[in-house]
Amino acid sequence: MTKYIIKRFLGMIPTLFVIITLAFIIMRLAPGGPFDQERQVSDLVKANLEAKYHLDESMPKQFIRYLSGIVRGDFGPSFKYSDHDVAFFIFTSLPHSLLLGTIALLLATFMGVFVGIIAALNQNTWIDYSAMSLAVIGISVPLFVVGPVLMLIFAMKLQWLPTSGWITGRDGWVTLLMPVLTLSFPYFANIARLSRSSVLDVIRSDYVRTAKAKGLSQTVIILKHVLKGAMLPIVSYLGPAFSGIITGSVVVEKIFRIPGLGNFFVQSSLNRDYTMIMGVIIVYSTILILMNFLVDIIYSFLDPRISYR
Amino acid sequence: MKTIDNGKKMKKDEVTNEFNQTLKGESLSADAWKRLKKNKMSMFGLFMVTIYAIVAALAPVLPIHRYDRQVLEHQFLPPSITRTAGELMLERRIDLIGRMMNKEKRSEMSQKEKAEIADIEYRIINETAEIDGKIIKVHERKYLLGTDDLGRDMLSRIIYGGQMSMAIGLIGTITSILIGIVIGSIAGYVGGRTDYIIMRIVDVMYGLPYMLLVIILMAILGKNILNLFLALSLVSWLTTARVMRGQILSLKNSTYVEAARSMGASSARIIFKHLVPNTLGIVIVFATLRVPAFIMLESFLSFLGLGVSAPYASWGSLIQDSIGGMTQYPWRLIWPAITMALFLFCMNFLGDGLRDAFDPQSKNRV
């Protein structure tokens, strides 16, 4: 097992390397350099700028410089905001996005599994139908419709919640409520559907019948036997769900004006601030790869049939 | 003992079961259609999607206003079925003057305000404008779903926006599926090192948050509809390629492929004449499942300001435009949102139904 974990961990390095290389190539090939401005600058100024950002060196040398910087957590200088490094922007905004994403994912998982089990146990009753209708709504209605509609109802018409702002502002933790609900809704819906169908599969299996025959109570059967078997598809869905939450947070951060990484990403894409874009992409991919790694490890713990040699 | 011919003559190629009843052979699609018809929600989805498609296709001949025609005086008019734009304009003006009067605590309108109202009343009756070569009384237009910030008709913008969203969804899906079919079948059929390299590329691309890739591509290539297609198709062929590869792997050792190979058919001929047609059913079902995802992607980009831009509209860009003033002008958010959500809803129902109907495990089940 330890061997498998180490092997899987080392396997992440080539993937990351490929991503960084791709990022570097795209960054250098992209049309429209960072210093293309409407105002023509003299050759001397341009040469000085290029020297400052090491653009005058050969490509391999630049690449090695970039790579060794990343290992030390340094993503180079921002092309648009000359007084700060990319790393500064990333590490000040990342915690907000991580907080939002983690809470949303946890909420989606727990609520989804809970609702899925309840729906499966009450199959073909109104509870099942209403839970599954809610899930279909969650899957079909995009985030950027859910967010503004929630805002319109709860913040503007009913005035129960603040429209925007963040936990660092004066409204405090209440501001977290709507963004988290919006972001987790589609994943809650998917997880609820998944767990309903996998609970229905497991509940008819022989070992559950055995447990029933032994006279175990319903709660024990659900918690100890059904849930463990039904968790597998949900755990393997967590990887894609996390990727979706990263993308979704871009929209949610924009709607609720949260000072997170997603907002930054869109801004820097519109500004063509290439070092910033690539920095954000590398951070996102690292998080995603780590998440997939964790999911694999959890999966191998849950499913005794899989042996990793 | 019962004889086979009980009165009627049997045709040569008729198949009978153990009770001597004639069995009719059914193609996969006929069987699937029979099962789809039983699924009420899916049929409702199919019906609604058809209506959406007809409305979008007929948009140029429908009796609606032009989607890009601006009438600046008609900004932010609320939806109304019975009242004309002129009446709404007048009412809004009188309302504003009334509030001014309250504020200044007077009961009479000033001379200037009276003149203004008379002017509006005069213009409502007499002012004309030329639209599409016809001279019409511009203030007698009605806006069933209200107007936007430039006085454009929301109904028309939603219909044209739907046309754009659906077209992008359809063409994008077809392009990405074609790319996926070609790459996936080559990987599956050729195998070996080619397969390894292609599948590693797919793996690495899966590791990236691909929506963010699209954003980068749009930023690099520049905003226009062609680039939007390009960027979306470039990142969304991955799953099709995987599905296709799996299908080809399971079929490539079948006897008919061997027969073709023994007759000297080239690899390309075997792939595209023999293997691909046999997997099309699955691919088509997969495509229907992808269309709503594509529409969501496009509207997501438009929402971030990286997709369709003015004067064109898509559902995403309409929703994006409405966010700013959604308390004062809620109809600008609500109508596009409802239209889009309903369409995606129906598309999802249809897709679920199709998947169940084509599921080989449910064959001949009714």
CA dist., res. A224 & res. A202, Å (int): 12
Rounded to 5 degrees, φ, ψ at B22 are -75, 135
Q: Which fold has domain B154-358?
A: MetI-like fold (1.10.3720)
Mean pLDDT of B88-95: 81
Helix ranges, A42-125 (H): 43-52, 59-71, 86-121
Residue B16 DSSP SS3:
strand
Whether residue A285 lies within 8 A of chain B, CB to CB, comes out as: yes
Q: Which amino acid is at B266?
A: S
Asked whether residue B357 carries a pLDDT value surpassing 90, the answer given is: no
- Percentage helix, strand, coil, to 5, in chain A? 75, 0, 25
CA dist., res. A268 & res. A27, Å (int): 13
Mean pLDDT of A175-194: 90
Phi-psi bin for B224: left (phi > 0), alpha (psi -120 to 50), beta? beta
Whether residue A155 lies within 8 A of chain B, CB to CB, comes out as: no
pLDDT value at residue A69: 83
Whether residue A141 lies within 8 A of chain B, CB to CB, comes out as: yes
CA dist., res. B317 & res. B314, Å (int): 5
Mean pLDDT of B74-93: 79
B212-244 pLDDT per residue, tens: 778 777 777 777 778 888 888 888 888 888 888
Closest CA to A291 of A228, A239, A246, A229: A239
More confident residue, B211 or A39: B211
Whether B157 contacts B313, CB under 8 Å: yes
Whether residue A25 lies within 8 A of chain B, CB to CB, comes out as: no
pLDDT value at residue A240: 79
Residue A278 DSSP SS3:
helix
Closest CA to A186 of A240, A117, A118: A240
Distances (CA, A) of B98 to A248, B91, B205, B346: 45, 10, 62, 46
Neighbouring C-beta atoms of residue B156, cutoff 10 Å: 22
Structural domains of chain A, ranges and CATH numbers in brackets: 99-261 (1.10.3720.10)
Task: Give contacts of A13 with chain B, Cβ < 8 Å.
Answer: none
Mean pLDDT of A166-195: 85
Say what the ipTM of the complex is.
0.76
Residue A169 DSSP SS3:
coil
Confidence of residue B12 (pLDDT cuts 50, 70, 90): low
pLDDT value at residue B3: 47
* Dihedral angle of Cα B184, B189, B194, B200, to the nearest 10 degrees: 40
Task: Give contacts of B207 with chain A, Cβ < 8 Å.
Answer: 15, 19, 285, 288-289, 292
CA dist., res. B275 & res. B260, Å (int): 11
Rounded to 5 degrees, φ, ψ at B298 are -60, -45
Asked whether residue B106 carries a pLDDT value surpassing 60, the answer given is: yes
Instruction: Give A167: exposed, middle or buried? Use CB within 10 Å, 0-12, 13-18, 19+.
Output: middle
Of B204, B326, B327, the CB nearest to A19: B204
A250-295 pLDDT per residue, tens: 889 888 888 888 888 888 877 777 788 888 888 888 888 888 888 8
> Which tokens sit at A32?
């429209």
CA dist., res. B47 & res. B49, Å (int): 6
Mean pLDDT for chain A overall: 82
Quick one: what percent of chain A has pLDDT higher than 90?
Answer: 10
Instruction: Give B337: exposed, middle or buried? Use CB within 10 Å, 0-12, 13-18, 19+.
Output: buried
B78-87 pLDDT per residue, tens: 888 778 877 8
Whether B337 contacts B319, CB under 8 Å: yes
CA dist., res. B339 & res. B162, Å (int): 8
Q: Are B219 and A251 within 8 A, CB to CB?
A: no
Residue extents of the structural domains in chain B: 1-27, 80-140, 154-358
Asked whether residue A106 carries a pLDDT value surpassing 90, the answer given is: yes
pTM of the model: 0.80
Residue B135's DSSP bridge partners are B130
